[in-house]
Amino acid sequence: IISFIMAMEKIGVIIALGNEFELHPLVRDVAYSQLQNAEEIHKRAGMFYYRKGNSGDKLEALYHFIMGGEDEMAIEVLSNFASFVDEGYGDVLISMLDRLPATNNARLAAWLLLAEGSTMRLLSMGMETAKEKLVESIKSAEEAMDGRARALAMNNLGIIYRELGEIKQAKEMYR
């Protein structure tokens, strides 16, 4: 089997990444299109990466949870957005969130917007866009009646207002 793997790597079908391998994007796309139950595969992949425990793997789990319809597990991962920034994965998180499909789940939307806006704030990138994301997060959290997401979004929005010198708006966020 090792010689087979080495041969596949040599012709570019798989790509070695340390102790792991990745399929060439074209091969992956063809294989994915042939799956009978892609959602179930995503759910299983999400749990696999989630159990590995490190931030890089949890980001991979997040993608699979969302693609597999495991919204509550996705929210669990998103609730620790600050740890991704702390461990140097903030840019990766932003990039992933920008590429995810839209969701009809207001609670998941609130957490996705909260993670994106808050991460942008923590990285000091695009404060106006971060404000917009957090305002949308508050609306989605209210629709979903998710008090925790709402409070976190309001707190982060208040910090942005304060950093931008908009003290009146900042105080409104803390009422």
Predicted TM-score of the model (pTM): 0.82
Separation of first and last alpha carbons in the chain: 63
Instruction: Write down the pLDDT at residue 9.
Output: 84
pLDDT along the chain (175 residues), means of 10: 82 81 80 81 94 92 94 95 92 92 94 96 92 96 97 95 92 84
Place of tokens 């959290």: 141
Show the tokens assigned to 146.
């998710």
